A and B are shown apart, each in its own frame.
Chain A
Amino acid sequence: METKRLIIVAVGGQGNLLASKVLGEAALLADIPVRMSEIHGMAQRGGVVESAVVFGDAASTIISDGEADVLLGFEPSETLRALNKCNADTVVITNTAPLPPFTVAIGKGTYPDLKVVQELIRSKTAKLIAFDARALAKQAGNVMSLNMVLLGSLIQTGIMPVSADNVKEAIRTSTKKAFVDINIKAFELGFEAAATAA
């Protein structure tokens, strides 16, 4: 089957790895070949967490520069930082609620203007879906469900070979029981947001 390559970037603690795991479990349910890799060095210490999810028959578990079909960014400046993974045909989905890195607080960098970020990404890629996923996560009942909101919008694009039903089933089986309802709601809110934000 055709290979589809997804890069997810986030800040440590945003739940990137759980999001990839849910996608992997969804692929397992749908009997679709999947390989993933993650670099989380010191995730708990506020660094960047990047994961790659490769659906289809490829053997590689990582994605070279310019070769992502979709870039899913949990934080807008991290989405921009990962633009090197994109090409003109890449679809980019990003949360617009910023988490400025600490370097900004101590004056060692300026956080990019959010409008500029979106315009830049839109001009260099096929499509940008940008919305405040943090607000939707809160609406779903827990700010920690931001990862599920973004999974919802990812699945809405239809680029990944797993269905919304597969992913919802994976959410039920592989996220904490107490959060399943919130997570499903978050997924649905993200799904709707992508349909309207595009």
Chain B
Amino acid sequence: MHKLLNENPGQKMLLLGNEAIARGAIEAGVAVASTYPGTPSSEISLQFFQVSQESDLYFEYSTNEKVAMEVAAAAANSGVRSMCVMKHVGVNVAADALMTLAYVGVKGGMIVLTADDPYMFSSQNEQDNRFYAKLSGLPMVEPSSVEEAKEMVAYAFEISEKLQEPVLFRTTTRINHSSAIVTLGKIRTPKTKGDFVKDPFNLVTVPAVSRKLHVKLLENIEKAAELSEASPYNFITGSGKWGIVCNGVSYNYASDAVKELDITDKVRLLRVGYSYPMPEKIIKGFLKACEKVLIIEEGEPYMEEQVKAFAQEEALTLKIRGKTKDLFTRLYEFNPAQVRENIARFFNVPYTPVKTADLSSVPEVPQRPPNLCAGCSHRATYYAVKKAAEGLGTIYPTDIGCYTLGVLPPLSTADFLLCMGSSVGTSCGFSTATDKKVISFIGDSTFFHSGIPGLVNAVFNNHNFTLVILDNSTTAMTGHQPHPGVDMSDFNLTGYGRVSIEKIVRAIGVPHVALIKPYRINKSIETLKEAIDYKGVSVIISQEACTLYAQSLKKARGKPFYINEKCKNHRECVNELACPAFYIEGEKVQINADLCTGCAVCAQICPEKAIVPVRSKEKAKAKTS
């Protein structure tokens, strides 16, 4: 049985934040869940995917976040509890649905989980999605800890059903990827089938209906504000005159700091866990009891602006600070020492920071950036593309996935990136505004997610570029989730369709389409050259399974290679491919047989043909000892 289906309420379990959130949803009787994977949210969906195979939960990997939200919105409008899960930038994709769903509302409870990523551990920006609550008018809750995250899921479903509105559930990476000991609650039996009651004059958003629905939304915001005032997740601790307002993980750093600075008796702390609408009465009362107030929040001054506005309404002139040059920044994530130091500075508390070890004489440690894996098919494709495009001064728009690592030298095959799917649309623009050759890259999952409309545009407007679709049969970057092109029998699952990328590309009417097997370097270069020479839209589909994925499915068949005595140290292998299986020993290139997957790409480019397969496993082992 899946550990999250454990039926022993009261049992304690060590859970990752994302597991705790999934457990919270299961305890709350979620019936339909949908997602497009994105770090730091991905493990929530992985739990749902696994649990759905052993329970009544319906879960799907949707093609993108907008579709995921539409699936969940319709389920909730049929009266069942639904949840859609995405990373912060995923909400941008789903925002079109979200904004009007706020007008239409729901019948069963619905949670939209947005996993924000301050510091951009694995994201292209660090936008603060609390503003989506303000923009849409939908309630938002934000946990501070793993345990609270689990509890808050059930609460969010309750307020969603009370208000008949979806609820935004905002986490940050340090909630998603922290672990703590969680006490399991009772699992509510999900209502798996609902009914859709026709009500077009409240559910079909033509202008006349929407004018009415906007009035309803504003009334709902009032009701949501009342719930915020009464929410157990907006609470005050302490009764001093020094005010601290905080949310999310900042609450942990602030409460630890208050103890460490020994100012518990002087501080009054407001933790905001129900952050839209902000609890006006609580905040106004809080401000009146304080001499000065420090707002501690990662990201934008979301609470700060609102708290200052409340102070103005009450004609309060106390000092309220948060994001200023000498206090908190809008950049990156916070840490405990930074919060402790700023609290001490703002309230004039003596404080000696811990003295970090003196690093002055420490030599520079060589960087260890993430790299495409040994045997990664993207490396082979990039090498072939660079050879095929040699001397053309090419612009390489890229997209989001493992293959973005092509940005690093020596591959250097990434010149421009905005968001999921942007490789295709920006190729249209670059090929129009410059005379350069444009060759862009997009992964298979990203192509399904949002690459297709760009390609339709390219054909219709007759743009001139080559799009290389890197089809490695999985959503590799976020942990090998399936996508519509994947054969679900790999997961021992039946009842799924399968969509062919090649058929889509041909159906769109792309005039030049070809397939390559990237491990066959010379043939790939030849085929790529034809596509690059073509004037108009050309598409190359580069097909080779992700090597990690192939290994996990036990489908990897390659045998390791080694470098024999013919090697004359040209080092084209290391210098042009930068495969991490290479290492230098005694001025000679060697291959780590534990890492080598036997893709044989280096063997094909070695001018001396000195890279050859290891004949037996024993020999491979001998080489790596």
Contact = CB atoms under 8 A, between A and B. Distances in A.
A66 B121 contact: no
B367 interface: yes
A81 B356 contact: no
B179 A112 contact: no
B200 interface: no
B358 A124 contact: yes
Contacts of B574: 105-106
Q: Which of B181, B361, B578 has the most CB of A within 10 A?
A: B181
Interface string B1-42: 000000000001110000000000000000000000001000
Given A62-B335, A86-B356, A100 B583 contact: yes
Interface residues of A, number: 59
A88 interface: yes
A39 B173 CA distance: 9
A39 B203 CA distance: 43
Interface in A8-37: 11-12, 20-21, 24-25, 27-28, 33-37
Interface in B172-211: 173-174, 177-181
Contacts of B121: 39, 41
Contacts of A61: 174, 178, 180, 249, 252
Contacts of A108: 366-367
B135 interface: no
Contact of A39 (B177, B338, B367): B177
B369 A103 contact: yes
B368 A45 contact: no
Contacts of A101: 366-368
Q: Which of A11, A64, A106, A111 has the most CB of B within 10 A?
A: A64
A80 B357 CA distance: 11
A58 interface: yes
A88 B249 contact: no
A59 B355 contact: no
Contacts of B583: 100, 105
A163 interface: no
Contacts of B477: 42
Contacts of A27: 14, 181
Contacts of A67: 336-337, 354
Contact of A66 (B337, B369, B370): B337
A47 B370 contact: yes
A12 B370 CA distance: 9
A88 B252 CA distance: 26
A87 B355 contact: yes
B364 A109 contact: yes
A116 B369 CA distance: 23
Interface string B310-342: 000000000000000000000000011110000
Given A84-B357, A100-B583, 9 more contacts: A34-B180, A35-B146, A35-B180, A41-B121, A46-B371, A60-B249, A66-B357, A67-B337, A105-B574
18 contacts: A35-B146, A35-B179, A41-B121, A42-B370, A45-B370, A45-B373, A46-B580, A47-B369, A64-B335, A64-B336, A66-B355, A67-B336, A106-B410, A106-B574, A108-B366, A109-B367, A124-B357, A124-B359
Interchain residue pairs A-B with the least CB separation, the first 7: A109-B366, A66-B356, A64-B337, A59-B252, A42-B370, A101-B368, A47-B370
